[in-house]
Structure 1
Amino acid sequence: MSITPLDLQTLFLKMANVGKEQATIQKSVENQQKREANQLIKEENNRDHSVNRVDEDKATEKINDKSNNQQQDRPKGEKKETDEDPEETKKYFTDPNRGHNIDISG
């Protein structure tokens, strides 16, 4: 199928319109990016110049010494769960000097 002179005339007329549409689309994208950038700048400035209320950490108000509370809650004859069993300590040898001496002789 060949291109006739009439087809060329209609194509040339439409090319001007296509160019204008492409330029409009490209400018709209640029304008949208500029608007979003300006909006982000405004929000950042508002955050910088405003005083924000900080929610207080409720957990810090409830600090308790767990070891003291556990000792008070137990009956006197009951053994503490975290106490090591004497048989467990006999299984392993611990060096009393380990961790206290620094070897600088390299």
Structure 2
Amino acid sequence: MVLRLDQDPDSFFSYLDKKIGFQNVTVALTADHGVAPIPTESAKRGAASARLDLDAFTAVIDESLNARFSPNKGVQYFMPTQELPYLALDPHAFGTVSERMPSRL
């Protein structure tokens, strides 16, 4: 795999050299292998940053949902593990399909 990474640019640069002459070429290589800066490290360097505690965040939302839809039941509406940018609801928290469907008269 790494060898192939060397061969691809070599083939491309050889093609450019033959076609237009490498002296007429400017090469700029960029890469994005990084990760987002760690918020606490960014803050130390003076950058505006924050860390969201997903457990606390989902607990507050669960509390609000319980107050509105299931008072005194302590339902956990979110899956136990969350990862941004998505928040996953637990489908079991909403009951079975027959419990969700209105009864027909």
| TM-score (norm: length of structure 1) | 0.22
Higher RCO, 1 or 2 (CA under 8 Å, sep at least 6)?
2
Higher helix share: 1
Larger radius of gyration: 1
